[in-house]
Amino acid sequence: MVISKRVEPTLLTDQVFDMIHAAILSGDLPAGSRLRVRDLAEQVGTSVMPVREAIRRLEEAGLAEREPHKGAVVKNLTLEELIHVYDVRRLLETEAARLGSERVTSEDCDKMQTEYDLMRQAIAERRVIALLDHDEALLSILYNAAGNPVLAQMIRALWQKCRAYKIVGAQGSLDASDDDSLWRYQQDLITAARNNNPPAAAAVNEASLLDASERIKARLADQLAT
């Protein structure tokens, strides 16, 4: 009984954290949203204590921050910060693709193809969150094949940091009929993985993330010009 009493609050905090975390990643709580403790506690049906702890963990994860006169809000990266995030992503994900393509199995590649097909279906149906989820699932299969869980964990953390931007960027690409950036690179990555071709896999990820970085820099330049 003593153990259960000590564990239960932690489990409840985990559940509250997962619920708020999911709302942030889905865009239901977009960047800049205030995380009001009492409102959230009422929505999830708990006391304020697990909500406060969950918000503290979100801050530690870089998904929330404190603002004067507002309290905790969902963190919004500036375009300058996004450029730095994508620079680090390029370093890590290029290496993850190189390592993963050395060890990935044909069964893994089949799973990557399935995620790609589901991603293309989500694109056709204009389901932004689903397409991002399937894209990340595709990449995770390859990165996990590298056999370095720390590398995979760091990459997932960076995805979460820039999730709000990815949602906006993906929506913008969907709205532009001539923009194929949402699916242009993934099939080439699958081909490189099937061929166990590390240089090709690394090159695809390098090109993909450089393309994303250039788009962010262009938006920053436009912002500075206005």
The counts of H helices and E strands in the chain are: 10, 2
d(CA 79, CA 77) in angstroms, rounded, equals: 6
Provide the pLDDT for residue 166. 86
Provide the pLDDT for residue 10. 66
Q: 73-108 burial, b if ≥16 CB within 10 A, otherwise e?
A: bbbebebeebbebbeebbebbbbbbbbbbeebeeeb
Q: Are 51 and 64 in contact (CB under 8 A)?
A: no
Model confidence at 5: pLDDT above 50: no
Q: Are 182 and 123 in contact (CB under 8 A)?
A: yes
Provide the pLDDT for residue 146. 97
Provide the pLDDT for residue 9. 55
Number of C-beta neighbours around residue 39 at 10 A? 11
Provide the pLDDT for residue 170. 86
**Domain spans, the chain:** 2-74, 79-225
Provide the pLDDT for residue 87. 95
Model confidence at 164: pLDDT above 90: no
Provide the pLDDT for residue 197. 98
Question: CA 26, 74, 182 angle in degrees (round to 5)?
Answer: 40
Band (pLDDT 50/70/90 cuts) for residue 4 is very low
What's the distance, Cα to Cα, between the start and end of the chain in Å?
63
**Is CATH 1.10.10.10 what the domain over 79-225 is classified as, yes or no?**
no
Model confidence at 7: pLDDT above 80: no
Query: H/E/C letters for each residue in 17-73?
Result: HHHHHHHHHHCCCCCCCECCHHHHHHHHCCCHHHHHHHHHHHHHCCCEEEECCCEEE
Class of domain 2-74: mainly alpha
Alpha carbons within 13 angstroms on the beta-carbon side of residue 166 total 22
Please provide residue 74's backbone torsions phi and psi, each rounded to the nearest 5 degrees.
-65, 130
pLDDT, tens only, 95-151: 999 999 999 999 999 999 999 999 999 999 999 999 999 999 999 999 999 999 999
Q: What is the mean pLDDT of the segment spanning 16-33?
A: 84
Band (pLDDT 50/70/90 cuts) for residue 27 is confident
Model confidence at 200: pLDDT above 60: yes
Q: Strand runs (DSSP E) across the chain, as ranges?
A: 64-67, 71-74
pTM of the predicted model over 0.95: no
Band (pLDDT 50/70/90 cuts) for residue 2 is very low
* Structural tokens at position 195: 């061929």
